[in-house]
Amino acid sequence: MNEPPGAAAGAAPVPYASHAASGPFVMDAHWLPYHPDPSRPRFVLPAGAVDAHCHVFGPGARFPYAAERKYTPCDAPKEVLWQLRDRLGFARNVIVQATCHGSDNRAVVDALHAAGGRARGVATVQESVSDVELRALHAAGVRGVRFNFVRRLADSTPRDVLERIARRVAPLGWHVVVYFEAVELPALFDFLAALPAPLVVDHMGRPDVTRPVNGPEFALFLQLMHARADVWCKVTCPERLSVTGPPGFDDVVPFARHIVERFPRRVLWGTDWPHPNLKGHMPDDGALVDFIPRIAPTVELQQLLLVDNPMQLYWAH
Ligand code: 0GY
């Protein structure tokens, strides 16, 4: 991947792969940086396709990583995300606040302002956030908040606080993005089923894909999808969930395809670039795009997954 198509005349292009943290930060010793030169996918995305789960990291020199972070990544700035978007054939991005930035949303907001309407965001806020701040986030393009229940990533927040945040953002037309692992769902189920805002679940609730797709663990996740009509699911991260691994991530296909076919109007897809905290293998993002037709095998399902659903959730209001 060479020049960033959107680079301003005369400005030095940001190299695709710089792969270091900047400012006072040093990336973690075993950090796997994003792929240095993703392939152009064979699968041609539908016009207007949205990468509905990706992040920006820093650069740390400009947007410092949070003191309470659990990891220090390599910088992954917005200019590189735009290069990836164009290389893969996406039209738009949904940039999700990553835990390494805590509740300081400046890197995401900066990216949204720079995106010319081609990006929306999901923020992390504390209960102390003011209404003025929420309105400014909305004006920048934020349409949701993220609650992270994965303890290796974020300290826990009391549920009554989360419930009050959900109640405050719902009138803005926002939703709550929730990230949890399947083993936590039994304890979270009633809380999630009652949260007073639409829900978007990251990475299918992280099923253990060594368990049967028709077994009780995945059935509980499907029960959550059935429990309310405003739960959406990101059928993302085969590279994170797979035990059989690349190139096919075959063990993830039955789970994702089941959700896509059962809930075609409530699914989203994203790259998860720059793929934080992967161990052992960094995917080629082009190959990830080529995974899509295996989980959404028809043109109609692909149009819903990649265009209509994310546009409804992020660009309709
Ligand atoms: C993801 C997954 C992970 C990290 C984060 O915000 C984050 O730090 O979401 C993970 O480590 O599983 O969706 O990016």
Residue owning the nearest CA to atom 3 of ligand 1: 276
For a substitution probing ligand 1, which of 51, 147, 150, 233 has the most ligand atoms within 8 Å of its CB?
150
Residue owning the nearest CA to atom 5 of ligand 1: 98
Condensed to tens digits (0 to 9), the pLDDT of residues 190-240 reads 999 999 999 999 999 999 999 999 999 999 999 999 999 999 999 999 999
The predicted pLDDT at position 19 comes to 83
Euclidean distance between CA atoms 248 and 264, whole angstroms: 23
Q: Helix axis angle, 131-140 relative to 106-114, nearest 10°?
A: 40
- The yes or no reply on domain 50-314 and CATH 3.40.50.300 is no
Q: How far is the CA of 165 from the centre of ligand 1 (A)?
A: 21
Q: How many residues does the chain have?
A: 317
pLDDT < 50 regions, the chain = 2-10
The predicted pLDDT at position 11 comes to 54
The predicted pLDDT at position 15 comes to 65
For the entire predicted model, the pTM comes to 0.95
User: Is the peptide bond between 41 and the residue preceding it cis, with omega within 30 degrees of 0?
Assistant: no
| Token pair 């936590």 in the structure block, residue | 184
Q: Which ligand 1 atom minimizes the distance to the CA of 206?
A: 12
15 to 7, 51, 83, 310: CA distances (angstroms): 11, 21, 10, 29
Residue 272 a catalytic site member: yes
The predicted pLDDT at position 311 comes to 98
The predicted pLDDT at position 2 comes to 41
The active-site residue out of 51, 202, 272, 285 is 272
Phi-psi region of 203 (alpha: psi -120 to 50; beta: other; left: phi over 0): left
The predicted pLDDT at position 7 comes to 38
> Is residue 239 within 6 Å of ligand 1 at its C-beta?
no
The predicted pLDDT at position 14 comes to 67
Planar angle of CA 3, 307, 121, nearest 5 degrees = 65
